[in-house]
Every structure is written in C-alpha cells, then in structure tokens.
Amino acid sequence: MAEGLNVAVVGATGAVGNMMIKVLEERSFPVSSIKLLASKRSAGKKLSFRGKAVDVQELTEDSFDGMDLALFSAGASVSRKFAPIAASRGCVVVDNSSAFRMDPNVPLVVPEVNPKALKNHKNIIANPNCSTIQMVVALKPLHDRVGIKRIVVTTFQAVSGTGQKAIVELEEQVKAWFQGKPIEKKVYPHQILFNCLPHIGSFLDNGFTEEEMKMLNETRKIFDDPSIEVCATTVRVPVFYGHSESVNVELKGPLSVEEVRELLESAEGVRMVDNPSAAQYPLPIDAAGSDLTFVGRIRKDPSVENGIVMWIVADNIRKGAATNAVQIAEILLRENLLKK
C-alpha cells in the first residue's frame, strides 16, 4: 500500500462498517495499514481491502496502539467504552453512533455544512444521524442566505438504517410472501413488508421517538443555531437503501422557488432532480450507491409566509454514514488536523 495512515474500522462486519471499508477504497484514502475490528464472535472472518483478504480481529483496549485514525460503527455502548481509549492513545476517532453527538466538547460534523467545527476537536468527532445529514446538506444554502425559523419533516427510512439483520428480515419476508409461507418478524415489532412503521428508536415521555428528537437537537448543533424549531416524524418503510424526507421549512426571509433552485443547483454535495411534469424527482432506488443528496419537488408552501417544501433523498449507508465519516477524515488530513 502507498504511504499513509494506520486506520482501524470498528464494527467492520456490519452494514456501515463494510461500507466504510469500501468507501476508503473507492476514494483512494491514504491507508498504509488497515485493522478491521469487531466482536469476539466475528473475529477470524476475512474481509477484502484493495484486493487483499484481511482478518477481522477482536476489539480490545489494545487495538488502537499505533493507529492514526479509527472509524467507529459498532453502536453507542461500544463507542462509549472504546472511543475514549483510542483517543487517549493519540488515535483520532470518527464515531457513527449517537454516543457523543450532543457532547459539547465533541464536534458534530457534516463536511458540506460545518467543516470549521473540526478545528478544535479532542480526538473524537461525531457523525450525525443519517436522516439529519441529508436534510442539513439540502438546507444549508437556504440557512446561509436568509436563515431558518422552523422545519417540519417526515422521513421514510430504509431498513438498512437498522442494520444488517433488518436487511435480512425484509429479504426473508419478501421470500416468505412469494412462497405463501408465514411472515416472521424478529427485528421490528410489526411486519415491515408492505408496511410503514412510525417508530424509529424508543418512545420518549413527550411522545416523540429518539430518532425524532435527534433531528431537532443535531440540526441545532450543526447549524450552531438553537433558535431553529424542528418537528419530526420518522417512519420505517420497506425499502432496502435510501432515506426519503418530506421537508417543510419556514424561512426567516423570502426566497422564491427559482432562487431556491438556483442555490441548490450550485450547492456542494447536492443534485437537483426537479421536473415533476416528466416524472423526474428524487427516488431512493436512484440515490442508492451515490454519495450525493438529491433534492426535488420544490414548491412554495401557501399556508405560511416564507414557506418552502421539498423532497430530499440520499443513500443512508453511504452519505448518511460511511461516506460522511471518510469525508471528515479527508478534511482532517487536508487541514493537518490529523496527526500522522
């Protein structure tokens, strides 16, 4: 391998971990050595990186000795235990879990939106929630131009956001339905095939779910604007890859639909697909495999002053997780914020 960094991927055998390995490869990230880490039961498995088989190792407290960068996607409990250990040994952690997102000492970063937040990191950086990432990428140009007062968002989130077991569950339910067999459910409380579940994360005392409150709290932190109001309803749908969102944003000043389109057409990381008369609008089946955030169905909200409605779609495993993490690492390296 070319001269570069010693990189660890924690949770390497999961859906996001696998994609992190793939994205490091695709984007030619400078890796001199790679360490693939997972639970004890996954140790010994082999994964491929740049055409070579790499053994998966058990995650331990000594796993980060000599590592420069660690990409974590193994859940909040694992991150809470091992990310501080890695950070204390000089390894910079980009964490995809919810463990540190709201920690005031940890930057919560979307590269197209708030890269400057990386400057004061203390070796742990948080990747936002997948549904938050694509929304703020699309809303960043509007917020910069006139400011955002309020967001009402309904998400339609793919099963891959739950993890590999949920992908398998939907596949098995499809097969069972075609074969006329009973449909079993293990991951979700209800059948996901041909269904929509308005239930992502645990329900809180205020009636919202954890996922819905993440969209409020993370949006405020990323935009560094606690005045923004967000009301979210998050829904799991029988789609494998790609989250979709209906976003109604009330701006602090007027913007015409044409001005919104113009801002988004030149926005970093955004692809406009907005020709409804020709049945052209963002679809999860088209966004799957892409690192872009797709935006369309842009229109004025006639029920509120300075209201704009749009439809936002992105690949939740790529831009919503793995690619965002690698993009953060690229900035750290480029800006000399990642010690070698």
Beta strands in 158-228, from DSSP E residues, in sequence order: none
Active site residue 130: yes
Do 92 and 332 form a contact (C-beta atoms < 8 A)? yes
Amino acid type, 33: S
Active site residue 243: yes
| Catalytic pick among 91, 121, 143, 243 | 243
Strands ordered across the beta sheet of 148-157: 229-236, 148-157, 243-251, 307-314, 293-300, 270-272
How far is the first Cα of the chain from the last one, in angstroms, to the nearest whole number? 16
DSSP symbol at 161: G
Beta strands in 202-275, from DSSP E residues, in sequence order: 229-236, 243-251, 270-272
For residue 102, give the nearest of 134, 69, 82, 126 by alpha carbon. Answer: 126
Q: Which residues pair with 95 in a beta bridge?
A: 72, 126
| Residue 270 DSSP SS3 | strand
Residues 97 and 19: their CA atoms lie apart, in Å, by 15
What are the helix (H) ranges across the chain? 15-26, 76-88, 130-145, 164-179, 210-223, 257-265, 284-287, 323-334
| Catalytic pick among 130, 143, 196, 199 | 130
Which residues make Cβ contacts (< 8 Å) with residue 164, sequence separation at least 6? Answer: 14, 15
Q: Which residues pair with 248 in a beta bridge?
A: 152, 309
Which residues make Cβ contacts (< 8 Å) with residue 305, sequence separation at least 6? Answer: 250
Query: Is residue 17 within a helix (H) or strand (E), and if so which, with residue range?
Result: helix 15-26
DSSP symbol at 94: E
Residues 52 and 205: their CA atoms lie apart, in Å, by 49
Residues 104 and 180: their CA atoms lie apart, in Å, by 52
Residues with a catalytic annotation lie at: 130, 243
